[in-house]
Amino acid sequence: MSSAFSSSNCKDVSCPEGETLADFKRAVMTPDAMEFEKLEAHCDGGDYLDPQDNGGKHYPVKREKADEYFYKCIDRVVRKFDEAVDAAGKLVVKNREGVYVTDPEQGLDYGTKQCVGKDNKPVSGNENRAKCKVINALGAEMHAVEDFYAHSNWSDKADPNKKIGVENPPGLEKGTELPGFLDVYQVSKEVGNGKRVEDVSKLPEKLSTGCWVYSGKDDPHKCDGRISERKTMQKDTAGDSRSKIDNGKNFANVLTAAGDDVFRQWKGFDKAVHDRYGKDKGDAIMKAVAKD
């Protein structure tokens, strides 16, 4: 799913605008175009059901194994965030008056160039510009964050009219609440201080995504007896079956949480840039990243 900056309130920080915003939205879609089968790019692979919710039977995947996939996703999100903060430092230079301005070699003239093309793939030749590095890295980061809500049971509710099980796993019912383990600004800070993602983030016991069969690559029976992402768990569109539960509230909550979290990530990026580069350079960087 993708909805970068759709429901954001950008009073306190400068959010992407104009051509930059359009470029950003394409960058958020890049993982679907380039890394469709990479589970951690979409926060996938962590399906799990407690035996008490599975008719007393053990689920084919262990809780620890499911957690591993979530941690891989969080780990990638942190690395992409850090990549963006690193690249941002190269985007501005001091001019002769000592004022920070966009380095023309590192910025982008949208009259002739863009970071991500209409096919949602990075435009070759531009990917080494600092502005594109920031946009590409944050796009990948935000994609996984949004997919977390669409592909897991964090926000949602199970169908109250059906028995709990593989075809109707419990929802964590967090609604529009944002988890601390995706507060990437904070997690990145702690990881920077030498902690592991696993130590920083405690995952809820019944957190789950769904299982996905990649045709031509996976055993077609891989997901037998497991929660299916496609048929059961996903809430990528309003038409997905789990989206419709609670009169569509499941989908509405996913959309709100994903949109709010994209804004949280952006604010975190703004804070991390200012922590690292200070007020003057940080302000110039944010302007160079967000405006055309």
Q: How far is the CB of 75 from Zn ion (least distance, A)?
A: 17
Q: How far apart are CA 244 and CA 261, in angstroms?
A: 22
Residue 147 vs 156, nearer CB to Zn ion:
147
Q: How far is the CB of 161 from Zn ion (least distance, A)?
A: 29
Residue 40 vs 156, nearer CB to Zn ion:
40
Q: Distance of alpha carbon 213 from its chain centroid, rounded?
A: 21
Task: Tell me the H-state helices in the chain.
Answer: 18-34, 63-88, 130-151, 184-192, 197-200, 249-277, 279-290
Residue 158 vs 223, nearer CB to Zn ion:
223
Residue 32 vs 103, nearer CB to Zn ion:
32
Q: Residue 39 carries which DSSP code?
A: G
Q: How far apart are CA 71 and CA 191, in angstroms?
A: 13
Q: How far is the CB of 40 from Zn ion (least distance, A)?
A: 11
Residue 81 vs 277, nearer CB to Zn ion:
81
Q: Are 97 and 50 in contact (CB under 8 A)?
A: no
Residue 94 vs 121, nearer CB to Zn ion:
121
Q: How far apart are CA 83 and CA 78, in angstroms?
A: 9
Q: How far apart are CA 286 and CA 269, in angstroms?
A: 9
Q: Phi, psi (5° rounding) for residue 39?
A: -55, -45
Q: How far apart are CA 161 and CA 262, in angstroms?
A: 33
Identify the residue whose tokens are 């696993």. Answer: 198
Q: How far is the CB of 108 from Zn ion (least distance, A)?
A: 25
Identify the residue whose tokens are 């009259």. Answer: 111
Q: How far is the CB of 141 from Zn ion (least distance, A)?
A: 12
Q: How far apart are CA 77 and CA 140, in angstroms?
A: 8
Q: How far is the CB of 194 from Zn ion (least distance, A)?
A: 31
Residue 25 vs 42, nearer CB to Zn ion:
42
Contact set with Zn ion (CB under 5 A): 32, 42, 147
Q: Distance of alpha carbon 168 from its chain centroid, rounded?
A: 25
Q: Which residue is nearest to Zn ion (CB)?
A: 42
Q: How far is the CB of 238 from Zn ion (least distance, A)?
A: 17
